[in-house]
Amino acid sequence: MRHLFDTITEISLWLASQNFFVCLLFILIPYALITFPIQYWIRRLLKKHEFENNDFAYPMVAGILNGVTGLTIAFVVVTLWNHHREQDAILKKEAQAIENIHMDLRHDMKMMREAERSLVLYVQTVATMEFNEATRQAGSDDAVKFLDEIYRTCQAVKDPLVRAHAMSELANLSTYRHQRLAGTFSSPIHPALWLTVILLTLLTVINVIMFNSKKSGYISASIGSLAYALILTLANQLEYPYLGPLSVSIDPLYLLLQKYENP
């Protein structure tokens, strides 16, 4: 089971880094199989065994499946949407902490220049090593090195109040960075829940096939499959906030680079 969960996580991470339509097409595969070849096979099997539609069973089963599936999908989407918004807020807080450190040292030009150089190098390193998908790392050692340089600069400030506030903002910056990195590769949704959602949606489509006539069954299953594929694609694209086309914007950090002089 652990191996299955790891596989689901790897697939989910790969899908999140893809184009929205590539992800949609990949997720549509099992639903397309159910809608057409598997549905044809199911209908032949039902006809062979003289299966009769039950007008009472269908609405009862459909109601249960639709209710459970809808609630589960809603929980997943809301959780991932909130996670995405939280990560966006964390990045803005990280940028604000950098600006606060810079403002704390504005009265000491020597210290401000030293800190500004380290802050710019930190932002550049984060942008190239922790945001760039081609070179993405779980945490760049160079970024830590520049944080250490900022720490030494803040320690050298003579004014105790300014030094204390700058050190506090540096601690906040480090905390926000760790929170951002934690959200880069980890998902708030357990693989078991993803598996549950997928199975529920597939069962719902199969239920449509079992209790509908041939023509309406193909149409209903097709519409239901496309709807489930779309919502699951959206959820997957929100799952990892720093991957894919719906990723959190790095603009708050880039705006800092426009304000500070490059080293």
Query: Both tokens of residue 235?
Result: 């959820």
Residue-wise pLDDT for 148-186, tens only, equals 999 999 888 888 888 899 999 999 999 999 988 888 778
CA angle (208 as vertex; 212, 8 as ends), nearest 5: 160
Among residues 189, 202, 181, the alpha carbon closest in space to that of 236 is found at 189
* CB contact set of 76 (below 8 Å; sequence gap of 6+): 189, 193, 194, 197, 235
Give residue 57's pLDDT: 65
Question: What type of residue is 45?
Answer: L
Interatomic CA distance for residues 234 and 20, integer angstroms? 8
Interatomic CA distance for residues 141 and 129, integer angstroms? 10
The span from the first CA to the last CA of the chain, in angstroms, equals 51
Give residue 54's pLDDT: 60
Give residue 136's pLDDT: 64
